[in-house]
């Protein structure tokens, strides 16, 4: 870890995010130029390795929470979620989702959807990006207020601290919601495969950066990118803070709809997490958390024990 008052620490805190983001974009472009026929699996593995390297580097050199310690079973649970979601669940859901949506589109005569991909490439990119951010914002807000969907999303809010890997701690229900409410409309609108690959490529760095335990000092970029400084509020045990900063890649729609809280106002002693410490709840158990939303015991209000702080709702 760098000395906090050193010039190198201050420079890395300010320049680390924008520089690594620019380098990552450059790598994406370079890979596509050098080998456009590279398999998507290999392509995404390369980008994931690079993202992991950046996250690990910043968490070691400029940690935000210098006292972060893993709770019992936490790292094992996060690794299991990371591997199962990225290399099994998401690919399987994506394959069946695309197959089903394509079948219905072709059945109704819309083989290429409504033709968003027929627009000039830059215009498509701008429109598609804004639409996906808009849909993602409202889908995220929905899972915070809908009783049934919240039980699935609650898994993501269970850790009592955040670092880059627990960004991927998501119940399978969250991915079903995302594909249904975000990707289905984009397919119907006929967004190109190339745009989706590019957006997902960029998101592979911004996603773990939402939770990274690094002391990024973004300045005006707080109003642009939805990364850790702003996203820490979203994991607060304070309901007013937890129901803010819903953006996936940008804070645009949080600003428009009044749910934005600037990241540099976050207090380090603020408590994060979802549940009060309750005997018997296994917040660092992969199988338990995947099945918890469906547990009859958790749905019995008269025997209520679990309280999701983020929305003050009960299972």
CA distance 209 to 211: 5
* Listed residue (294, 286, 282) closest to 81, CA to CA: 286
pTM above 0.85, yes or no: yes
Average pLDDT over residues 122-128: 94
The pair of structure tokens assigned to 189 is 């609108």
The pair of structure tokens assigned to 207 is 């996603």
Of the listed ranges 96-110, 121-135, 182-196, 197-211, the least confidently predicted one is 96-110
Cα angle, residue 52 at apex, residues 46 and 55 outer, rounded to 5°: 145
CA distance 244 to 166: 19
Residue-wise pLDDT for 192-203, tens only, equals: 989 999 999 999
Reply yes or no on whether the pLDDT at 116 is more than 90: no
Average pLDDT, the chain: 87
Residue-wise pLDDT for 33-84, tens only, equals: 776 678 888 999 999 999 999 999 999 999 999 988 899 999 999 999 999 9
Dihedral-angle region of residue 204 (phi above 0 means left; psi in -120 to 50 means alpha; beta otherwise)? alpha
Average pLDDT over residues 154-165: 91
Instruction: Assign 225 to helix, strand or coil.
Output: strand
């Amino acid at each position: 870890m760098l000395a906090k008052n050193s010039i190198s620490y201050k420079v890395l805190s300010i320049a680390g995010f924008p520089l690594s983001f620019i380098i990552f974009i450059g790598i994406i472009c370079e890979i596509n130029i050098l080998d456009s026929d590279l398999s998507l699996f290999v392509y995404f593995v390369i980008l994931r390795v690079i993202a992991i390297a950046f996250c690990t580097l910043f968490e070691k050199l400029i940690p935000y929470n210098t006292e972060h310690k893993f709770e019992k079973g936490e790292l094992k649970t996060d690794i299991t979620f990371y591997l199962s979601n990225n290399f099994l669940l998401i690919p399987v859901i994506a394959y069946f989702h695309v197959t089903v949506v394509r079948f219905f589109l072709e059945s109704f005569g819309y083989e290429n959807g409504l033709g968003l991909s027929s627009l000039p490439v830059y215009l498509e990119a701008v429109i598609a990006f804004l639409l996906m951010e808009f849909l993602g914002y409202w889908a995220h807000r929905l899972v915070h207020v809908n009783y049934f969907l919240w039980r699935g999303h609650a898994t993501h809010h269970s850790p009592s601290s955040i670092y880059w890997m627990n960004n991927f701690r998501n119940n399978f229900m969250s991915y079903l919601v995302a594909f249904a409410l975000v990707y289905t409309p984009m397919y119907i609108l006929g967004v190109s495969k190339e745009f989706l690959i590019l957006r997902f490529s960029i998101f592979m760095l911004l996603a773990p950066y939402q939770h990274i335990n690094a002391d990024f000092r973004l300045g005006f970029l707080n109003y642009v990118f939805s990364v850790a400084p702003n996203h820490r509020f979203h994991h607060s045990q304070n309901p007013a803070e937890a129901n803010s900063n819903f953006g996936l890649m940008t804070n645009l729609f949080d600003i428009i709809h009044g749910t934005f809280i600037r990241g540099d106002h976050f207090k380090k002693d603020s408590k994060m997490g979802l549940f009060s410490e309750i005997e018997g709840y296994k917040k660092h158990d992969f199988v338990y958390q995947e099945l918890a939303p469906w547990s009859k015991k958790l749905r019995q209000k008269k025997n209520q024990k679990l309280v999701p702080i983020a929305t003050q709702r009960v299972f």
